[in-house]
Amino acid sequence: MSNVTLVRPFRPYFGAHHTHPLGLMYLASYARAHGHNRVAIVDNRIEKLSDDALLARILATKPDIIGITGMTSEALLMADLARRLRRRLPHVRIVAGGSHATAWTKQTLRQGSVDVVVRGEGEAAFVGLLDAWQRGGDLRGVPGLSFLEDGRVVDTGEPTPVPDLDAQPYPAWDLIPVEKYFGQRMADQIRQHREIMTVFTSRACPYPCTYCHDMFGKTFRARSAAGVVDELRVLRRDYGIREIHVADDIFNIQIKRAKEIFHRCREEGVQFVWSFPNGLRADIMDDELLDLMRDAGVRRVAYAVETASPRFRKAIRKHLDLAKVADTVKKTAARGIFVNGFFMLGFPGETRDEMEQTIQYARDSEFHTVSFHRVIPNRGTALYNESVARRSIS
């Protein structure tokens, strides 16, 4: 059986946070559930090791297979780490995954040090890859992989998503130093307790916004309320967690399920401080859910608005009812929940007047804080394709 080491490198930058490496943690637990028991995780966001120390830490795990993940902002680090590992361990198999490798698959492979890219939602593809290597099988039969063959990139089809999230094992908390994350800067920088854990209760978002990634596909899948509350109970009992940060793409898309989670928490005495730093859909909230969130201990939420320009709400397919959003923000704040708003400025072709319209909407709202983000058309999004087409025409 192979030793598998999963690595998240780290580039310090303004706004960097130390949110738990849930992608690797789920990958590890899924692999172990399918018989690949020798798995280690090295998260350099929390360890902050030098290049040489990180290499030494990885070598100490005696890996046969190394998986590296990262965002595009960490792409150069990923490539450099892969090259250094290849020089030291020429016979080790190196796998890349995550958002950057998924969007820039050919470039990742052609840098020469990565054997295989796992694209998109990675659990099934990664376990299929491990199984194929273990039995000497053909990778072409494993959906979700890309690799080079005679200098050409071979894609094995779209990855297979995990259909039943309740059947998936909990993330491998035992493979990370949980207490090292206590008190660290998270995606939500305002916290009430040090003992924080990030959780996923669902995957994917069905909305067609042009600027958003598609790592989990467009089919919304949710864990049951019972499954979510069971996980929370384990986190409190075994790890002393007191605050939960929900990382879902869109937690409240199924209002009934969202309400049931908080009902169960109340009925079963599962009490936490909650934060939703990843953006909720404001125009589908209702008063009952807001009341349940307040009573359950939700202290901070973020609503993603992006733009107040009618032209660009249509262009980016973000069909928000801004009057409903403003009303939801007001009602949320009135319940003592801290409200942040996400906005984007600089869409291709956006005028100064349109940007000022967005700024004025934010100023007129009852958000406690707002975050303005420069538009970056990330590869793999419709906005990227539109931007490339616009540039070639001009």
pLDDT tens digit string along 239-254? 999 999 999 999 999 9
**Residue 183: band (very low, low, confident or very high) from pLDDT cuts 50, 70, 90:** confident
Mean pLDDT of 297-324: 95
Pick from 303, 321, 274, 318: nearest CA to 366: 303
Query: What's residue 83's pLDDT?
Result: 96
- For the whole model, what pTM was predicted? 0.94
- Report pLDDT for 120: 95
Q: How far is CA 35 from the centre of its chain?
A: 26
Fill in the DSSP letter of residue 35.
T
Residue 7's beta-bridge partner residues? 42, 68
Contacts (Cβ under 8 Å, ≥6 apart) of 374:
344, 345, 346
DSSP string spanning 247-278? --S-GGGSHHHHHHHHHHHHHTT---EEEEEE
Instruction: Tell me the pLDDT of the chain averaged across its residues.
Output: 94
pLDDT digits (tens, 9 = 90+) for 267-280: 999 999 999 998 79
The CA–CA distances, whole Å, from 223 to 44, 108, 124, 333 equal 29, 33, 18, 28
Instruction: Decide if pLDDT at 13 tops 90.
Output: no
215-222, long-range: CB within 8 Å, 24+ apart, which pairs? 215/99, 215/102, 215/120, 215/121, 216/120, 216/121, 216/161, 216/249, 217/120, 217/121, 217/161, 219/161, 220/250, 220/253, 220/254, 221/161, 221/162, 221/163, 221/165, 222/165, 222/254, 222/257
Q: Confidence band (pLDDT; 50, 70, 90) for 15?
A: low
pLDDT of residue 1: 75
- Cα–Cα distance, 190 to 209 (Å, whole number): 28
Question: In the numeric block, which tokens belong to residue 47?
Answer: 């360890």
pLDDT band for 213, please (50, 70, 90 cuts).
confident
pLDDT digits (tens, 9 = 90+) for 127-162: 999 999 999 989 999 999 999 999 999 999 999 999
Report residue 339: phi and psi, to 5°.
Answer: -120, 125
Residue 393 above 70 pLDDT? no
pLDDT in tens, 337-372: 999 999 999 999 999 999 999 999 999 999 999 999
**First and final CA of the chain: distance in angstroms?**
55
pLDDT in tens, 52-62: 999 999 999 99
pLDDT of residue 392 exceeding 90: no
- Give pLDDT, residue 394: 45
Task: Please determine, for residue 309, whether its predicted confidence score (pLDDT) is greater than 80.
Answer: yes
Quickly state the pLDDT bin for 86 (edges 50, 70, 90): very high
The pair of structure tokens assigned to 16 is 């960097």
Tokens for 271?
Answer: 């009490």
pLDDT given at position 187: 72
pLDDT value at 311 more than 50: yes
Amino acid 192: pLDDT:
79
d(CA 154, CA 237): 46
Q: For residues 61-70, give the mean pLDDT.
A: 97
Query: Is 80 exceeded by the pLDDT of residue 14?
Result: no
Q: What is the spatial distance between Cα 266 and Cα 286, in angstroms, rounded to a whole number? A: 19
Quote the CA–CA distance of 375 and 94 in Å, as a whole number: 33
Of 90, 101, 226, the closest CA to residue 155 belongs to 101
How would you classify the pairing of strands 145-149 and 152-155?
antiparallel
Q: Tell me which amino acid residue 391 is.
A: R
Strand partners, 75: none
pLDDT of 215 reads 86
Determine if residue 314 is left, alpha or beta; phi over 0 gives left, psi from -120 to 50 gives alpha, anything else beta. alpha
Domains of the chain by start residue, with CATH: 4-155 (3.40.50.280), 186-393 (3.20.20.70)
Cα–Cα distance for residue pair 309/355, rounded to 1 Å: 8
